[in-house]
A and B are shown apart, each in its own frame.
Chain A
Amino acid sequence: MIGFVARRAGFSALLALGVSFVTYALVFSNGTAIARSILGVDATEAQVAAKAAELGLDQPLIAQYVEWLVAALGGNLGTSYFTGEPVTSIMASRIPVTLALVGVAMFLTAILSAVLGIASAVAGGWLDRFLQLVALIGTAVPNFIIAIVLVMTLAVGARLFPATGYVPFDEDPAAWALSLFLPVTAVVIASVGPASQQFRGAVKDVLEKDFVRTLRARGMRPTPVILRHVFRNAAGPGIIILGLQVIVLMGGVVVIERVFSLPGVGELTVTNSLLGDIPVVMGCVVFIIAVVIVVNLATDLINAALNPKVRQR
């Protein structure tokens, strides 16, 4: 198991290096344009050139990246070109928002999709067909459409939840839960569909295995058969799809953050990519890479714990 973790960690480090460099190269685009963006359209060429030199934007791309990487490894992600605020401090205020949204949404997705998947596979009949239809609708409708409908009905219409904004947990736990309810619901509705269908398919496959029939033949009660044996064997594909959904959600979370005006990492990434605030964008990229690595590693470890064959790969 230690060797397995070491291999995965090594691969993750290479991934982090590659993705960070590619992003740096893409965002870098044009140092003069970034300086112009900071100074505004009325600045003279000389002022723009001076600003570019001051920020080191006139240096070769590789030199800039290496300088950033060395500082980042030392825990210094630089300061924003536009606000002068340390990137670590900016990220510290944004990460809890995104992690709360994604974390709670994925936790609920995992529970709901497992429960619905098992229910669908085990019950069959009209319940299966109904849950499949619900899953299909949830999969087909984009989460931002669901978000807009939720805002218009439950926030603007019924006034049950706040339409926008985020309240930190340590400030007011109840208000925190209220501020997250609609965004989390929008994400969960869209993500439960595909995940529950994965669980359903896997559970159905396992139900057809000989060992299940043998367990039943021995007189084992249905509940332990499904929860201890069938679900344990069927969990792998579902966990993989949940891991993938977290990664996809990290890219798509910006839409939800915009609709609900949540000050999260997604919104920060898009705004600063357009501005050309490289240090902030790179801070966001580092965070997203970290999430992807942790999720991938967790998915692998859970699968390895559930299935010994995975550990031998």
Chain B
Amino acid sequence: MRISTSRPARRIALAAAAATIAVALTACTGGAGNPSAAPTSDKDYAQLRLASSTAPASWDPALQTSAFDGIWQWTAVYDTLLTCNQDGTVGPGAAEEFEFTDDNTTLTMTLRQGMTFEDGSPIDSAAVKASIEHMQTGGGSGAVRVAGLTIGAPDDRTVVVTSPAARGLLATYMCLSPGIVASPAAIGSPDVDSVPVSSGPYAFDAANSTSGSVMTFVKRDDYWNADAYPYEEIVVTVMTDVTARLNALKTGQVDGAGLSAQTVAEAEASQLAITEWVDATNGIVIFDRDGTVVPALAEPKVRQAMNMVFDREGIAQGLFQGRVDPTTQMFGPETEGFIAELDDEYEFDVEAAKDLMADAGYADGFTIEIPSRTPQTDQANPLIVQQFAELGITVTETPIAGATAVPELLSGRFPMTYISMPLSSGLWAVGQEIAPDATWNVKKNATPELTALTDAAQRAAGEELTETLQEINQYVVENAWFIPWNNRTAYFGTADDVTVDGTPDPYFQVPQLKSFK
């Protein structure tokens, strides 16, 4: 039975529908303000608004990390003993002079006079000694860089850092989180995680910050290098999603933010200023060069063959929108140790690769297991599976994720993985992925020839260092320790009249606060 509705009932229904639409329209047009109508501020350096992809961390100086936009949080409030220049060299910081001597084992620094912490207490050698010792025992990622160092404070302004063995990057570490100048009172306080005591260019403004999402910093005029930081206030808003960061840039909600290869074209089309630089090597890191998991990988010819089945130009165009430069080496074009000719070492030649496999006794291929991580390996792994199949190599993928992903990679379970290895200096690359104790030399592969070179690099400087690094580069490329694909480009967008001075230094890999003009 169908109940027909009466005319008055229909009127009620129509009125209800009309009211609904009216409410919706009212909501659409009724605004308490129009963001675009806000007056644009003149270039008065009153405030710089940055969008960060990194969630705020503890304020404990020992728990700070040394790369990407998470550094804004701590570089605002903590000074460092030395500073990293754009070309990767080290310059003065809180220490106005420094000397690196005795085969790269002794770093002597002279502090500036008259520096104070935010609370007015003096910055002297005792404070610096306490800072580095806190870094050694504070349980952060910087601890390994300062492990085993002896810190001396012969007078108020002199700090002598001594390493038991040559440590070529010791001065560089003093521009990064291990070189933070921390207040002895703060690091001894139970509030060390939540209350920073500034030694840097800005002080944290807790009253105008929101836990976990917005951090506001106010300039300290008594900072020794205050003139290098033009903005009176810096507001860092956490935006983990890159599209949200781009939208915030486009609508003028922020002045600067890190972008991705996927969003940079839209940013360019929106007339945003883009700063770009090479920040990492994309490719495959072979862990099992001794063949303990997959015996075939102990054969250099097999690793060389695996290098030859990838069309690096095609990958650059197809997977990376032509925004990367193909390479076959782990040393970036701007770093010591780079050899341009090495980029021609492994031409795309599947037939020649098959011949190498046959020479090595693996004409029928073998089986390997590689990890898959979303989104890091989503595009690369299908290509790896397809191209290795050309050599008869069967690839199985094992998903890893979350907090356990990196420990699984470092456990040695996998013979290789696709990964983006950050590009810093040549010596940094040796310490990260080549030396016997390097973090990403997972199976601690070593040969007497290579170990002699990596040891020598730690003691070398100047031209000698460059030559030694080139020998190391030559060795690992010829022995196919890696299967690099290309040099990744990083992008940073700025809006309106905010600009980035130059390009980021190779360690922080993001514009430093003083770079914003």
Contact = CB atoms under 8 A, between A and B. Distances in A.
Interface of A: 29-30, 32-34, 36-44, 47, 50-51, 54, 79-80, 82-85, 89-90, 92-94, 112, 115-116, 118-120, 122-124, 127, 131, 148, 151, 155-156, 159-166, 168, 173-175, 177-178, 181, 185, 207-208, 212-213, 216, 221-223, 226, 258-261, 263, 267-268, 271, 273-276
Contacts of B214: 263
A43 B244 contact: no
B35 A161 contact: yes
A94 B141 contact: no
A146 B251 CA distance: 19
Contacts of A151: 247
15 contacts: A33-B403, A42-B144, A93-B212, A94-B211, A112-B23, A115-B17, A116-B16, A123-B9, A155-B251, A163-B253, A178-B35, A208-B3, A222-B8, A261-B245, A263-B212
Contacts of A259: 241, 243-244
Contact of A85 (B27, B194, B239, B243): B194
Given A122-B5, A274-B402, A162 B57 contact: no
Contacts of B17: 115-116, 119, 123, 127, 131
Given A41-B406, A177-B32, A208-B3, A122 B251 contact: no
A181 B141 contact: no
B140 A258 contact: no
A175 B212 CA distance: 20
Q: Which of A216, A222, A259 is most buried by chain B, counting CB atoms within 10 A of its CB?
A: A222
Nearest to B24: A112
A34 B57 CA distance: 15
Contact of A263 (B57, B213, B241, B248): B213
Given A36-B407, A275-B403, A222 B144 contact: no
A10 to B, nearest CB: 35
Contacts of A221: 8
A222 to B, nearest CB: 4
A207 B63 CA distance: 66
A311 B214 CA distance: 48
Contacts of B1: 208
Contacts of A33: 403-404, 406-407
Contacts of A276: 402-403
Nearest to B410: A41
A219 to B, nearest CB: 12
Q: Which of A30, A37, A38, A83 is most buried by chain B, counting CB atoms within 10 A of its CB?
A: A83
Interface in B300-344: none
Q: Which 6 A-B pairs have the closest CB atoms?
A: A84-B193, A40-B141, A174-B32, A159-B36, A263-B213, A276-B403
A77 B240 CA distance: 25
B459 interface: no
Contact of A39 (B3, B60, B141): B141
Nearest to A255: B241
Contacts of A43: 141, 143-144
Interface in B192-235: 192-194, 210-214
Contact of A222 (B6, B145, B251, B410): B6
Nearest to B190: A84
Contacts of A118: 13, 16
B345 to A, nearest CB: 28
Nearest to B15: A119
A258 B240 contact: yes
A85 B58 CA distance: 8
Nearest to A83: B58
A209 B6 CA distance: 16
Nearest to B27: A181
Contacts of A94: 211-212
Contacts of A38: 63, 139
B395 interface: no
A135 to B, nearest CB: 12
B56 interface: yes
B211 A90 contact: yes
B399 to A, nearest CB: 14
B248 A163 contact: yes
A30 B237 contact: no
B447 interface: no
Nearest to B252: A159
A306 B192 CA distance: 55
Nearest to A278: B403
B406 A93 contact: no
